[in-house]
Structure 1
């Protein structure tokens, strides 16, 4: 049994939910980053649950989207992915 249709549905649903939340969901008008972060989290959750993309790809989404939506500077977002110990 192929899981390909479910992966496509998961990707489409994730993108639709993400776009709808970015456009329409604004829980705190004075801080638009709150709604954008919720949209990113929902997008990642849908991708993770549907396994539309590998988990490693889903884990890298904040590295791109957090600086893109001005939620966190790029250096701060990237610092979560590296360790000075390793």
Structure 2
């Protein structure tokens, strides 16, 4: 089923963008940590000393901002495209 992005509630689209961004960010950052240190001990150390909470909070906040922004701009672009289709 191909649903128009304008028919889906804003929060659902934003949640999809946010989750996708966070998954990609997690993969990239984990890979970068592995290549930088040759292992994942830095992640284990972060969990042990409690610095992971700030790290996670910042990434989730970035993900939410990204999700909301992408939803806003995607819906705006789709509204403009629909206007052009109806006028053309």
Q: Normalization by structure 1: what TM-score?
A: 0.37
Larger Rg: 2
Q: Which has the higher contact order (CA 8 A, sep 6+)?
A: 2
**Higher relative helix content:** 2
